[in-house]
Structure 1
Amino acid sequence: MKLKYLLIFAVVIFIASCAIKRQSTNVGQVSQISAKKNEGRLLDTIIKASPSEDKKTKALVMPDSSRYTRIVLAEGLDEPMEMAILPNLNILFIERKGGVKLYNNESKEVKTIANIGVFSGIEDGLLGVVIDPKFADNHWVYFYYAVAGEEAISRLSRFELKGENLNLKSEQVLLEIPTQRKYCCHSAGYLAFDAKGILYLSTGDNTNAEETEGHTPVDERPGRELSDDQATSANTNDLRGKILRIKPEQDGSYSIPDGNLFPKDGSKGLPEIYTMGSRNPYRFSIDHKNGYVYWGDVGPDTKVVGEGGEYMSFDEINQAKGPGYFGWPYFLGNNQAFPKYDFATKKTGEKKDPAKPVNNSPNNTGEKELPPAQPAMIWYGKIPSKNFPLVGSGGATAAAGPVYYSDMFPNAPYKLSEYYSGKLFIYEWIRGWIMAVSFDENGNYKSMEPFLKHLKFSAPTDMQFAPDGAIYMLEYGTNWFSKNTNARLIRIEYQEGNRRPVAEIEVDKVYGAAPHTVLLSGSKSKDYDKDDQLSYSWKIDGKIIQGATARYTFEKTGIFNVELMVKDDKGSMGTAKTKIHVGNTPPEVTIQTSINRSFYWDNQILDYNIKVHDKEDKIIDPRKVKVSFGYIPQGKDVAVILAGNQDPGAYRYLKGAQMLANLDCKACHSMDKESVGPTYMAISARYTGKKDAVNFLSGKIIEGGSGSWGERAMSAHPALAKEDAKEMVNYILSLSAKPKKLPLKNAIPLKDHIGKGIEGSYLLNASYRDLGANGIESLDGRANISLRNPLVQADDFDSGNVRIVTRTTEFMAFISNLTDKKYISFNGIDLSGVKRIKYRIQQNGTGGNIELRLGSKDGPLVSTLIVPAAGSPDQKLIWKEFLAPVTATKGMHNLYFVFTAPGLKGNMFNLDWIYFSNK
């Protein structure tokens, strides 16, 4: 018996110990997870799931970015607004000026199937599209659009779509909303169905958003009714500034579903209203499991100071668990209240109570007592947000995308990981990001994290999931109110297990005259599953060609599609497309000179002779050859200047040019193409030469405001330093400077660098645009010479395997860890005229050799320096200069500085800089 009890006791102890072990393991996992729950913080540490972990634990693993494939389906769109994914995976999408387009999933082509006549002034137009939940049976498609003509009406209608035929005569009008078309802005117009077949429509406040004097549009003066949001958003008897909710009926009418904000009899407000108090609820979504509604409300630009001293210019992400009033124009963000502003006296008064808001405006035609104001779920302004730091700073246009549930996509091949199940995707038009928002067990906001942060988006305007689990997105593109080359329809696929290859095409000559022979390569295509065997095929001019590379001759003129298909041995395939333009050859521009093409030295003269040849333009007009020359203080960024095709003199403020390119400015302005804001060229023309223009414009950039180019408000940038704003302004003003006309042959003394340090460079740029030929557009040819200071910092190498050491106290950086066969290289250096090389070296080690070789680590040897070992300990702290002769060498080469010390171990020495001498 004792043995029996001992065995039982041992078993109990064993089970208990296992349970304790499992419990402690689970506690460890929970602590890892909870450590990442800080609001707004990125999940930098990914929790690794072992093969033994269960499915629930694996849901916590953030998928690797290599499992996503972005495919561009169409580009060059004209203001794409919204899309509807059809059951056969064809994509119906609309453009603001009235175009209705269909992407065919089988042919991979886009066709315009209809044009709806619309009023497309201000922000109106064809704004929303959605298919009926029973589309496969009834073929109904719903559109929301501003009706063409003199009468200001926006209409919700449905039409019949069969195949590629949209029957415009089948229109059934469900709802019409009176609007005003005198002032901009805010039309919204997004459409969506919930899981119960109820249709939602978002409407903007449709109020004068431009003459607010830094406050909210609550102008109660006589004759200013169109500038009072209390007449629309805060008006229970108006359908604008709302999310509406109706049930379409079989006969083309609609009924009011249960659960809207006001009674169905209209006794307290219009019964269609679900939420009110929005400014511009541009994009929304509905959680198909719990019915919650999420939307991005695009915020104002105000001068009203809120909590923490920040301007109350918040964009919002809102969550409606039920009907309600969401604050505008009295409250914003977390129910921060605006003081009452009297536009007649220019004085501010009391703030309203969010618990009992009252609309006493003479322009209000509805109830005075409004429902309690509900705060935003997420809110952020122009400066970095303390509450939601991941959202960034600058201009903003918040949007809410779908809520993802994995079990709603059974057996879908591209469904997202379980990791994202239950998360809401929000996105930003101007800032270009997507975030995944997580909720707690009560459905309240918990945290957010970047989604697809390795991808860049150009003003995303719609995001939806397809039945196969793929993500479809519309990108509006760079410039407002215009067709954009980067306005696209894209598809993003996620794959677990075997990943599809990523196809990439390289073409040696995209343009050329007929017959035109091109060399195509798919060698840069990749497969993240390293063991997969890839096969390549090309679809060219109706023919299929096998192989990773292809040489093909186009005999006729025209624009031809080329498609590369890369297939792995598991059956997955990736594709890429490009176009070949046959009929016009790019001009050949060359610059002849007798001097070194990489470096300048004191007392030197740049002589040049420019030659232009074009196969189609038999005679070259010298007046059309543009020649520019200038000294640029920040010479390392010459590539930026060349990409801009501008005169180098306009880039004296290169820092300002880069900031304009990288900040949110590009969302409203461009160089010479009209957008929502004036062009940089127009600004330059207006203000160049005016007194105190730099201070005025830099203040405008920082503080924002309106009035200079109409009343449309400009976003503030309060976090921008004054000196940085001045750099931006100085660059813009420099655009009006007319470059000095230079001849095709000339000799220019190089003296602008004297006394200005070693960072600058000279740029000689020559370009010619041909006349176009055979239906192919005009093409540019260009050549340039960039001359920099001959002292080159060793740590600026283009490639290498050494270590860079930085000593901030001495304001210097150098390279170390120089052991046998280590190297650094510099690309495209001309050694013409270089007679010796000077090195600044610290003898801190065994000593060794520096070998200068051309083209590779084992290339021709043109110079050698022997560096002695360090002597006394004091010698290790001294920097010395060493000279080495260079074999006479001409032409551009990639230079490899190879460090050798056969048989020795440890660091040879440290290297600070290299000087190429012509003495």
Structure 2
Amino acid sequence: MTTRQFCTATWLVLASVFCQKAHSQSAPDSTRFTYSTLASGFDEPMQMAILPDQSILVAERKGALRLYDAKAKKLGTVAHLNVFSGIEDGLLGVAIDPGYEKNNWIYLYYGLGGERHISELARFEYKNGTLDMSSKKVLLEVPTQRTYCCHSAGYLTFDSKGLLYLSIGDNTNAEEIEGHNPTDERPGRQLSDGQGTSANTNDLRGKILRIKPEANGTYAIPDGNLFPKNGEEGRPEIYVMGCRNPFRMSVDAKNGFVYWGDVGPDTEVPAEEGRLSYDEINQARKPGFFGYPYFLGANEVFPKYDFETKKEGPGQDPAHPVNNSPNNTGIKNLPPAQPAWIWYGKGPSKRWPLVGKGGASAMAGPVYYSDLYQDAPYKLPEYYNGKLLIYDWIRKWMMAVTLDEQGNYVSMEPFLPQLKVVAPMDMQIAKDGAVYILAYGTNWFAKNTDSGIIRVEYSEGNRRPIAVAHVSETVGAVPMKITLSANGSKDFDQNDKLTYTWTIGKTKLKGKESAYTFTKPGTYDILLTVTDSQGAQGTTTSQVKVGNAPPKVGLTTLSNQSFYWDDQEFDYKVSITDKEDKPIVKERVKVSFHYLPFGKDLASVLSSGDEDARFANTKKFYSTLDCKACHTMETRSIGPALNEIATRYAGQKDAKTKLAEKIITGGSGSWGSYPMPPHPDLSPEKAEEITDYILSLNQKHNSLPLQGKQLLGSHKGKGTEGAYVLQASYTDGGTKTASPIRTSKHVVLRDPQIEMEDYSDGNVGVVIATLNTGYVSYISNIRNGKYVRYDDIDLNQIRSIKLRLQEHGAGGIIEVRTGGKDGPLIGSLNVNPGKLDDLKTGWKDVAISLKPTKGKHDLYFVFKNPASPYPLFHIDKMLFGK
């Protein structure tokens, strides 16, 4: 788990320009990259290890060691270790021995469960899907503190010489640093002093270790580490020190350079780029001290802060750092501090604009060399030869960094920007040249459906097909019949013919479309394999849960379901049935009716089944922010849970203003000393909107009856942008084998006036509102045969449409049709010609009478005048009338 956990109300903005390339090769054709999700639904995946047969071991933080079986294309569980998974500890690292094909050794790094506060680096024998627990050999024990969060790191990797590297975080209190670096030397505050870990030569935390594993389960110290092998100056295992949270690292296979991402602090100390809160990508060409907690970035100096007097003094000299802390058990005179290689803060970076802004968790992947993959079928193109791949867990980007022959930074550019990875956690290259990416998923400390193993292939010749599966139902009761479709699958090689195979357990089905019936409850993986005429295959896996039928919620009305009119009544009737719940449990029914001042696009947001329509748009906006890096809904992370906040501030009159101000200005002290950074890019209105949403989590709302009427009067005097929302939902009780399921239905009523430029589809022009148009926007360049379409309009009780138009052109006919440009004609209007050169032609209102029509339809306005090649007229807006 990374620890750069600050909330921000800004979203990732990547610059659209690319940095200078080190050579003249053009970027590869993006269509030659194919992607497949091999497995998903992990519970906090931390690191992966690619086995010789392309199967993949994945370490999950809570202790599970998972296996993706490449042959069976299934995800299983190998073992579940007893680990301490509090704070950010747990099962953090997994790596296979370079001689795995002969010795079957794997290495795991984890917080040991129980009373001993240590983390273990241990070797096990893993063979044929089984982890032999009796084969355990503990190579190394690292004493830790489990009182304060955070910084565990825990990544494992080997270099080309068979040396094992382990990154370990500083394990220092990140919450009570008062806007400074953690150097609290007061008695009893040793857990808040990084000088006792990162800058302590006799402590393994805040370091990258390098050892040589031995056959008997011990290790030797290789030549060339930072300190002598006799330990007189410091622990001889240390290769790099002065790290905060060296979360992800790699070793250059050719020159041995070590690269790692160090996740930075949140401080209030002024710096060259904003505050001294940089994340770093570091390069170690040799062993060294990389500055923390005294320096950051290009050796920018932290002032010496006295936590007792709250006063700042002169900082350290990077050339001669001295550790005089009473918590230091190592040498005092440290090696010269090495500057970071790439560094960036929360704001836009002047040096590296592509990295964007906001929350950050910098990580380093491998350096790619073409000649290491000579015969690999999916190796990356020569364009990437010698480039370092880096990525950011929070900002969700991946970059390729170009180096010169000496290993100096030249430029960076987006790597696979078309691939949207949700929180990239690990990146490795397999022996066949494919790039594997481990995605953590959206929510912290949670099992995420959007977590997974992504395989990326590049092909110069025949390309693998891309498998896309559509499953008609993903949850249901026994028996459960589903239909399967591979219609979205494709192959970029035009002459390839595709065949389709569906695998469900031991059953195999053929065909682009198929069907299957489940007769037993359980969770099933459905594997789609798409094979081209040359034998290349693409796969994708879907999951189906059988054993509980979703509730059925019906919502009927005699009223129009698209629009509201002044002081009309909206009648409704809700019906609920559930296969398992008999009778329906009244307390699980929720019916609500609200007027929302801003209702545009609300229907698309509510289609996901949002619990409270009032905050549907707010939740959608909130999901685009990285505040969830600090705050989960139910459980405390670095920041409090949203429900905690709602409970604390319930009933306080000034809570809304206070919280909104804090979101914008930042601060600390309310929930501990871990600082909440400011969010100056967020408007007061947006901050209050988020605050309203959070405070609502503690409020109880009574449900309306299943049948009734609602007066439509709340909109009057509030413009045309608002909407009424009637929402009904039911959450069933689940079954012994399946979790509860919630089903909801809604009706959104909007103002009957629609601006013509708000069409869903069409081929007319739009004139934007300016001073010259009287601040009116309208559709223009309306010629013979052109059209506009408006989706899902309920025509029940609609008798006419009033158009505001301008007779500025050749004139013609407006046809109103349903279902298509040639669909049934339900109304038409002749528009007189006007003078093309008369820009003062006024707007006028005209009405189109409609044939009585029931139900919802896509509404087409088709414009005709076969005799004229010129524009016909302009239209501003329309008003639906009863």
Q: TM-score range by the shorter chain?
A: over 0.9
Taking the aligned partners of 1:225 and 1:586, their CA distance within structure 2 comes to: 54
Contact 2:609/2:745 (<8 A) preserved: no
CA distance in 2, matches of 1:244, 1:234: 14
For residue 795 of structure 1, give the secondary structure of its aligned residue in structure 2. helix
Structure 2 Cα separation of the partners of residues 214 and 112 of structure 1: 43
Distance 1:548 1:389 in 2: 45
Tell me if the contact between 2:196 and 2:328 (Cα under 8 Å) persists in the aligned partners: yes
2:664 is equivalent to residue 699 of structure 1: no
Cα gap change, 1:41 to 1:432, in 2 (>3 Å): closer
Cα contact 2:812–2:832 (8 A) shared by 1: yes
Distance 1:614 1:894 in 2: 32
Q: Is 2:856 aligned against 1:915?
A: no
* 1:168 CA displacement: 2.0
Deviates more, 1:606-615 or 1:872-881: 872-881
Q: Give the structure 2 partner of residue 873 of structure 1.
A: 837
Residue 431 of structure 1 deviates from its aligned partner by: 1.6
Q: 2:37 aligns with which of 64, 72, 75?
A: 72
CA–CA separation in structure 1 for the residues paired with 2:609 and 2:648 = 22
Q: Which residue of 2 aligns with 1:834?
A: 798
The answer on whether the counterparts of 2:19 and 2:411 sit within 8 Å (CA) in structure 1 is no
Residue 108 (structure 2) pairs with residue 146 (structure 1): no
Going from structure 1 to structure 2, the CA distance change for 1:732 and 1:612 (only over 3 Å counts) comes to same
Contact 1:480–1:676 under 8 Å retained in 2: no
* Structure 1 CA distance for aligned equivalents of residues 353 and 475 of structure 2: 46
Structure-1 residue corresponding to 2:591: 627
Indicate yes or no: 2:727 matched with 1:765. yes
Correspondence for 1:481: 445
- Give the distance between the partners of 2:137 and 2:487, measured in 1 at CA: 54
Structure 1 residues 63, 879: closer, same or farther in 2, change over 3 A? farther
Alignment pair present for 1:495 and 2:454: no
The alpha-carbon distance between structure 1 residues 856 and 118, as it changes in their structure 2 partners (threshold 3 A), is: same
Report the CA distance shift for 1:457/1:60 in structure 2 as closer, same or farther (over 3 A): same
How far does residue 503 in structure 1 lie from its aligned partner after superposition? 2.0
- 1:418 equivalenced with 2:379 (yes/no): no
Distance 1:237 1:120 in 2: 26
Q: Is the 8 A contact 2:38 2:539 kept in 1?
A: no
Task: Give the secondary structure class of the aligned counterpart of 1:150.
Answer: coil
The letter for the 1-side match of 2:802 is K
Which residue in the other structure is 2:741 paired with? 779
Secondary structure of 1:874's partner? coil
Where does 1:629-778 land on structure 2 (aligned, <5 Å)?
A: 629-638=593-602, 639-643=604-608, 645-650=610-615, 654=617, 656-672=618-634, 675-773=637-735, 775-778=737-740
In the alignment, does 2:289 pair up with 1:320?
A: no
Structure-1 separation of matches of 2:522 and 2:105? 40
1:432 and 2:403 are equivalent in the alignment: no
Residue 674 of structure 1, CA deviation = 5.2
In 1, the alpha carbon distance for the partners of 2:433 and 2:445 equals 32
- Select the residue among 14, 17, 25 that pairs with 1:60: 25
Deviation of 1:675 after TM superposition, in Å, equals 4.5
State the distance in 1 between where 2:398 and 2:19 align.
19
What is the CA-CA distance between 1:620 and the residue it aligns to?
Answer: 2.7
Query: Which AA in structure 1 matches 2:554?
Result: T
1:221 offset after TM fit, Å? 0.9
Q: Given the superposition, is the C-alpha separation of residues 276 and 387 from structure 1 closer, same or farther in structure 2, using an over 3 Å criterion? A: same
Distance 2:244 2:213 in 1: 26
Please give the per-residue CA displacement for 1:353-382, whole angstroms capped at 9, x wherever unaligned.
222222222222222222221221111122
Instruction: Pick from 205, 211, 226 the counterpart of residue 240 of structure 1.
Output: 205
Sort the Cα spacing of 1:149 and 1:589 in 2 relative to 1 into closer, same or farther, 3 A.
closer
Q: CA deviation at 1:862?
A: 0.4
2:94 alignment partner in structure 1: 129
| CA apart distance, 1:790 | 0.8
Task: State the partner residue of 2:249.
Answer: 284
Task: Name whichever structure is richer in helix by fraction.
Answer: 1
**1:394-405 correspondence runs (5 A):** 394-405=358-369
Larger Rg: 1
Equivalent residue, structure 2, for 1:346? 310
Partner Cα distance (2:258, 2:282) in 1:
8
Q: Find the aligned partners of 2:586 and 2:686 in 1 and give their Cα distance.
A: 39
Q: Does 1:177 align with 2:177?
A: no
Residues 508, 46 of structure 1: CA spacing in aligned structure 2 closer, same or farther, 3 A cutoff? farther
Q: Which amino acid aligns with 1:330?
A: Y
Number of matched residues? 866
What's the secondary structure of 1:259's corresponding residue?
coil
Q: Are residues 703 and 382 of structure 1, via their aligned partners in 2, closer, same or farther at CA, if it must alter by over 3 Å?
A: farther
Could you list the per-position Cα deviations for residues 83-110 of structure 1 after superposition, in whole angstroms to 9, with x for gaps in the alignment? 1111111212212222222221111122
Cα deviation 1:471-501 (Å, max 9, x = unaligned): 2222222333333333322322222232222
CA separation in 2, counterparts of 1:261 and 1:509? 58
Cα drift, residue 555 of structure 1: 4.8
Q: Provide the secondary structure at the position in 1 that maps to 2:695.
A: helix
Give CA deviations for 1:611-631 in whole Å, capped at 9, x if unaligned: 223344343344432101101
Aligned-pair CA distance for 1:601: 1.0
1:751-786: CA deviation from partner (whole Å, max 9, x where unpaired)? 111111111111101112233357343333322211
Displacement after TM superposition at 1:193 (Å): 0.9
CA distances 1:427-473 after superposition (whole Å, capped 9, x unpaired): 11112221111123331112211112222222222111111111222
C-alpha distance in structure 1 between counterparts of 2:609 and 2:745, whole Å: 14
The alpha-carbon distance between structure 1 residues 644 and 613, as it changes in their structure 2 partners (threshold 3 A), is: closer
Taking the aligned partners of 1:45 and 1:350, their CA distance within structure 2 comes to: 37
Change (3 A) 1:786 1:740: same
Given that 2:39 and 2:541 are in contact with CA atoms closer than 8 Å, whether structure 1 keeps it comes out as: no
Deviations 1:3-45, CA, capped at 9 Å, x for gaps: xxxxxxxxxxxxxxxxxxxxxxxxxxxxxxxxxxxxx965569
* Amino acid aligned to 2:857: H
Query: How far apart in 2 are the matches of 1:774 and 1:320?
Result: 54
Corresponding letter in the other structure for 2:127 = K
Aligned to 2:601, the other structure's residue is in SS state helix
Secondary structure of 2:860 counterpart = strand
Q: 1:507 to 1:163 in 2, by over 3 A?
A: closer
**Separation in structure 1 between the aligned mates of residue 522 and residue 58 of structure 2, nearest angstrom:** 28
Which moves more between the two structures, 547-556 or 361-370?
A: 547-556
Whether the aligned pair in 2 keeps the contact of 1:539 and 1:563 (CA below 8 Å) is: yes
| Larger displacement relative to structure 2 (143-152 or 540-549) | 540-549
Query: Corresponding residue for 2:809?
Result: 845
TM-score normalised to the size of structure 1?
0.90
Amino acid across the alignment from 1:753:
H
How far residue 691 of structure 1 moved from its aligned partner, in angstroms, is 3.9
Shift of 1:512: 4.0
Aligned counterpart for 1:193 among listed residues 137, 155, 158: 158
- Secondary structure of 2:669's aligned partner: coil
Matching of residue 90 in structure 1 with residue 55 in structure 2 = yes
Which secondary structure state, in structure 1, belongs to the residue aligned with residue 591 of structure 2? strand
Amino acid at match of 1:377: W
2: CA distance between counterparts of 1:418 and 1:280?
33
* Aligned counterparts of 2:94 and 2:506: Cα–Cα separation in 1: 35
After superposition, the Cα gap between the structure-2 partners of 1:465 and 1:233, relative to the gap in structure 1 and judged at 3 Å, is same
Greater shift in the superposed pair: 65-74 or 129-138:
65-74
Identity %: 55
SS of equivalent to 1:807: coil
For residue 133 of structure 2, what is the aligned residue in structure 1?
168
Residue 299 of structure 2 aligns with which residue?
A: 335
Gaps of 5+ in 2: 1-13
CA 916–672 in structure 1, closer or farther in 2 if over 3 Å, else same = farther
Structure 2 contact 178–674 (Cα < 8 Å) conserved? no
Counterparts of 1:120 and 1:776, CA distance in 2: 26
Is 1:330–1:337's contact at 8 Å kept on the other side of the alignment?
yes
Could you say which residue in structure 2 is the equivalent of 1:293? Answer: 258
Query: How far apart are the structure 1 equivalents of 2:739 and 2:117?
Result: 41
Q: Is this contact kept in 1: 2:530–2:537, CA < 8 A?
A: yes
CA contact (8 A) 1:72 1:491 kept: yes
Q: CA RMSD of the aligned region, Å?
A: 2.4
- Call closer, same or farther: CA 1:532–1:797 in 2, change over 3 Å: farther
Alpha-carbon contact 2:444-2:632 (below 8 Å) kept: no
User: Higher mean Cα deviation, 474-483 or 279-288?
Assistant: 474-483
1:97-141 Cα offsets, whole Å, 9 max, x none, are 222222211111223222332222222222212111111122221
Structure 2 counterpart of 1:893: 857
Out of 599, 608, 625, the position equivalent to 2:572 is 608
